[in-house]
């Protein structure tokens, strides 16, 4: 068994769609990034890659490579799954947390679980997604950005 942890953060800006867990969430701002800036999926990918000792998403999908410009992070997650399977690992479970003052994530979590489950080809029951605010504190609490944390068990 191997365990990996992932963390990601992106700035909220005007003129971008807000995509988290592969789900487009209606909101006045979106996350700034080279890809779709899906913080949750990025944190999950880093947790998986870390558990498999495959580096991180910056190494695998560099932001100076136009191939990945505006790409769906769910597509990148499928690539990560393939790389981990090629090393002989199986994803046991994932636990994750989205940290955002706004918008409320709860209505979208079941869809996020489904998207991630499909991309990783694992059961929905092997994925846990939570959401919390920062009670108005820090950059997420002030609505300047959104972050996510994830941990993954590989067998």
- The answer to whether 65 is a known ligand-binding residue is yes
130 is annotated as contributing to ligand binding: no
134 is in an annotated binding site: yes
- Per the annotation, does 37 bind a ligand? no
Handedness of CA 46, 50, 53, 55 (dihedral sign): positive
Is 22 annotated among the ligand-binding residues? Answer: no
- Report the DSSP beta bridge partners of residue 143: none
139 marked as part of a ligand binding site: yes
Q: Is 133 annotated as a binding residue?
A: yes
- The answer to whether the annotation marks 63 as part of a ligand binding site is yes
Q: Hey, CA dihedral for 17, 23, 27, 31, is it positive or negative?
A: negative
Residue 36 marked ligand-binding: no
> Binding residue per annotation — 59?
no
150 annotated as a binding-site residue? no
Whole-number Å distance between alpha carbons of 115 and 109: 10
- Is 42 known as a binding-site position? yes
Q: Is 100 assigned a ligand-binding role in the annotation? A: yes
Instruction: Tell me whether residue 58 is annotated as binding.
Output: yes
10 is in an annotated binding site: yes
How far is C-alpha 39 from the geometric centre of its chain's CA atoms? 4
Q: β-pairing, 127-132 with 91-99?
A: parallel
Q: Is 102 annotated as a binding residue?
A: yes
8 A C-beta contact, residue 145 and residue 9: yes
Residue 95 assigned to a binding site: no
The encoded tokens of residue 48 equal 């998986």
Per the annotation, does 1 bind a ligand?
Answer: no
Binding residues: 8-10, 34-35, 42, 56-58, 61-65, 100-106, 132-135, 139
Known binding residues for a divalent metal cation are 8, 10, 42
């Amino acid at each position: 068994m191997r365990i990996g942890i992932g963390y990601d953060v992106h700035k909220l800006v005007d003129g971008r769609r807000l995509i988290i867990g592969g789900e487009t969430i209606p909101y006045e701002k979106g996350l700034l990034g080279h890809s779709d800036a899906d913080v949750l999926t990025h944190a999950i990918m880093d947790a998986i890659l870390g558990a498999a000792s495959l580096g991180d998403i910056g190494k695998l999908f560099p932001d100076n490579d136009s191939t990945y410009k505006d790409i769906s992070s769910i597509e990148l997650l499928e690539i990560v799954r393939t790389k981990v399977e090629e090393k002989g690992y199986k994803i046991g479970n994932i636990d994750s947390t989205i940290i955002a003052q706004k918008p409320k994530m709860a209505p979208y979590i079941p869809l996020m679980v489904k998207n991630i489950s499909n991309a990783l080809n694992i059961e929905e029951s092997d994925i846990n997604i939570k959401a919390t605010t920062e009670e108005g504190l820090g950059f997420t609490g002030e609505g300047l950005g959104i972050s996510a944390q994830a941990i993954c068990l590989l067998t």
